[in-house]
Amino acid sequence: MEKLIQRAGSIDPNLLKKDFPVFERKVHGKPLIYLDNAATTQKPQSVIDCIDNYYRNHNSNIHRGVHTLSYESTVMYEDAHKKVADFIGADKWNEIIFTRNATESLNLLAYGWGLHRLEEGDEVLITIMEHHSNIVPWQMLRDLKGIKINVLGVDDRGDLKLDELPDLLTERTKLVSIIHASNVLGTVNPVKEITRQAKEVGALVLIDAAQSIPHLPIDVSEIGCDFLVASGHKMLGPTGIGFIYGRESLLEDMEPFMYGGDMIEKVTFEKSTWNELPWKFEAGTPNIAGGIGLGAAVDYLDGIGLQNILDHEEDLLSYALEKMSAYDWIKIYGHKSTTESVGVISFNVEGVHPHDVAGMLDEEGIAVRSGHHCAQPLMSELSMDYTARISFYLYNNKEEIDLCVETLKKVKKIFG
C-alpha cells in the first residue's frame, strides 16, 4: 500500500481500489460503485488479513493466561489501543476504551458518568444535527434524573447557530455533547471553539467523531475535549468495534457500565474493586479480533495520511456539487456556506421518492443510502422527510460521480 502514494497530497483512488477485495465483484452485472461510506466503509485486504492471522495463529483469550498464545493476543490487543491513542493525539493509551461502536460508547458515558454525576436541573447541551445515538441516551437521563436538554439549532445554510451558543451555556450546563461532522449535511462543526466556550462555564465536552475521524486529522489535546467517541467500521475497521477517548482523571472517577470478568481487581462476597484503565470498562472477553483489526485500519489510514484523504474528498465534493447543481430538479441540502465539509451530500430528485432513487442507482451497481439517516430532528428542521445520500471516501473517483449523475437523469426521465 505504501507504494501507491507516490507523493504527499496525492491519492490515486483507482490504485487504492486494488487494496479492497469488494471492488472485484459486480452488482447486477455492473462494477460496484460504493457511495455509502457515511454508513460504513469497505475493508482493505490488510485489515482482513490481520483478522485472519489472529484467528489462524494467535487465537486466545487475553489477560487470562501465561501461555504463548494468550501473551501474543494480549500484546496485539493492547498495541491496538496504543495505535488509536496515537492516531487521535491522546496523552496516554489507557485513555482509550474499546466498545462495540460509537453508540455503545455514548451509552457507556451516559450510564457510567451521567447517571452518577448529573442531578435534577443539570443541563446537557446537544445540537439539532445529532445522530439519534447522541440524543436518546440523554433523554433517558432526563426521564430518570430530571436533567434538562438544551438544543443548539442550525441556520438555513446548514451551519450551527453559534451566535446562540452563549445564551445556551449556563452555570447548570454540565456537558456539551456535539457531533463533529454531520452525517446528513457533511458540515464540520468548530469543535475547538465550542469546547473553549463550554469550558468557560465549567462544562465537560463530549465529541461524536464517528463521521469525522475517517476523513480529517483529529487531535484531542488540541481540541481540549474531555471525551471523544467513534466507530471502527466507518474508518476501514471491522464492525463491532469502537472506542471512547476520555481524560484519565475522569475515567478513574467514573463508574463501570458493564460488570463481570476482567474489569475487576478483587472480588469477595462483600465487595468488589475495579481493574486499572482501560480494562475497568472492558468487561468479559472483548472483541479481540475486532480491536486488532481496528489497529490495522489505523495503520492503513496512517499510511495514506488523513490530510491526503481530506484533500481528495474535498476535490470530489466540489466536483459532485458542481455536477448535481446543474439540474434544478436535484435539491441539495446544506453546502451553502464556506464551512468545512466532509464528503457527504444529501439530496432529493424532484417528484421521486428517495427509495426509488436508491433502487435505480443500485441497478447500475451504485450503492447509496436513502431514509432519514438516524437524524430525524435535523430532517424535520430542514423540512425533509427522507433523502438520498451519497458519501465519498478515498477509493472513489470522479468517473463514479459522472455515472451517478447520468443515472439520476434516467431516474428523473422515468419517474418525472
Cell of 414: 422515468
CA dihedral 294, 300, 305, 308 (to 10 degrees): -110
Cell of 124: 446537557
Cα–Cα distance measured from residue 379 to residue 208, given in angstroms and rounded to the nearest whole number: 19
Residue 34, helix vs strand vs coil: strand
DSSP structure string for 232-287:
GGGGTS-TT-EEEEE-HHHHHHSPPSS-STTSEEEE-SS-EEEPSTTGGG--SS--
Cα–Cα distance measured from residue 123 to residue 120, given in angstroms and rounded to the nearest whole number: 9
C-alpha of 393 from chain center:
13
374 belongs to the catalytic site = yes
Position 17: which residue type? K
Residue 43 contacts residue 214 (beta carbons within 8 Å): no
Residue 292 contacts residue 237 (beta carbons within 8 Å): no
Residue 398 contacts residue 35 (beta carbons within 8 Å): no
Catalytic residue among 50, 225, 374, 404: 374
Give the active site residues: 374
